[in-house]
């Protein structure tokens, strides 16, 4: 083993500060799209980085890029978050959006594009919303999303396209 062990023992390392600076906005925005609530987004971002920090020795480059590994932790954190809060929040959000869509006056109260998008995202299925969050929140390519989710790249493209169409129709 020793030839390769020379490299193994040397334990190539990455600059954690650089990783933090690069990935923090992506993870944070992933949660903004995934969960909608900025406070939850901060909490879940903290959870993600703390888990990644504690488990950094488990990261293996052969299993994918560092960002893919980080977003696996982020996606799991989102799942745990929803599991802990279900069923009240998603249903309540959905009801709120449905009511808003039915009432033009309420629609006018959605003053900004951000408010409007935040209100529409919960109308998507869980899977579609996650892909939208990865695509437009984390700014991942379809290929990276495919690696992170296990879906094929073409499947990711199709799902994202349909989800965007659905949002556009309700905008």
Partner 1 sequence: MGELNLEALRREPDPEFAERLRARLRQQPAGRVRHGRHPLAKLAAGLAVTAAAGLALTLPTVRARASSFLALFREVSFVAVPVSSTDVQRVNGLDLEHLIGDRVQVLEQNAAVAVTSPEQANTVAGFTMLLPSVLPEGTVRTGIEVGGRNVARITADTTRLKQVLDALGLSDLDVPQELDGETAMITVSPMVMTGFAQGDRKAMFVQGPMPEVLMPAGVDLAQLGEIGLRVLGMPADEARTFAKSVDWRTTFLVPVPPMATRFRQTLVGSDRGIVVEGPIIDDVTKAEKGNWNLLLWSRGGRVYAIRSTMRLADVMAMANSLQ
20 near partner 1 (CB under 8 A): yes
The 67-106 site mask, x for binding partner 1 (CB under 8 A), equals ----------------------------------------
C-alpha span between 34 and 32 (Å, rounded): 6
Cβ pair 33, 133 in contact under 8 A: yes
Taking alpha carbons only, the member of 79, 47, 147 closest to residue 155 is: 147
Within 8 A by CB and 6+ apart from 143, the residues are 153
119 near partner 1 (CB under 8 A): no
Among 40, 51, 101, 117, binds partner 1 (CB under 8 A): 117
Among 22, 53, 143, 154, binds partner 1 (CB under 8 A): 53
12 near partner 1 (CB under 8 A): yes
Helix (H, G, I), strand (E, B) or coil at 59: coil
The 55-74 site mask, x for binding partner 1 (CB under 8 A), equals -xxxxxxxx--x--------
Ramachandran angles phi, psi of 159, nearest 5°? -65, -45
Residue with token string 């290929």: 143
Cβ pair 28, 42 in contact under 8 A: yes
Binding site for partner 1 (CB under 8 A): 1-14, 16, 19-20, 24-25, 28-29, 32-33, 38, 42, 45-46, 49-50, 53-54, 56-63, 66, 112-114, 116-118, 121, 132, 136-137, 164, 167-168, 171
């Amino acid at each position: 083993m020793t030839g390769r062990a020379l490299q193994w023992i040397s334990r190539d390392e990455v600059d954690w500060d650089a990783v933090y600076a690069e990935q923090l906005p992506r993870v944070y925005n992933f949660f903004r799209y995934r969960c909608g609530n900025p406070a939850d987004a901060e909490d879940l971002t903290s959870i993600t980085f703390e888990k990644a920090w504690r488990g950094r020795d488990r990261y293996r480059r052969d299993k994918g890029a560092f960002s893919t590994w980080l977003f696996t932790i982020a996606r799991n954190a989102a799942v745990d978050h929803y599991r802990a809060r279900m069923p009240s929040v998603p249903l309540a959000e959905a009801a709120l959006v449905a009511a808003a869509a039915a009432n033009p006056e309420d629609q006018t109260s959605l003053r900004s594009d951000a408010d409007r998008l935040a209100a529409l995202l919960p109308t998507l299925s869980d899977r579609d919303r996650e892909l939208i969050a990865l695509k437009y929140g984390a700014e991942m390519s379809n290929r990276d999303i495919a690696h992170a989710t296990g879906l094929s790249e073409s499947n990711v493209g199709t799902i994202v396209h349909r989800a965007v169409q659905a949002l556009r129709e309700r905008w």
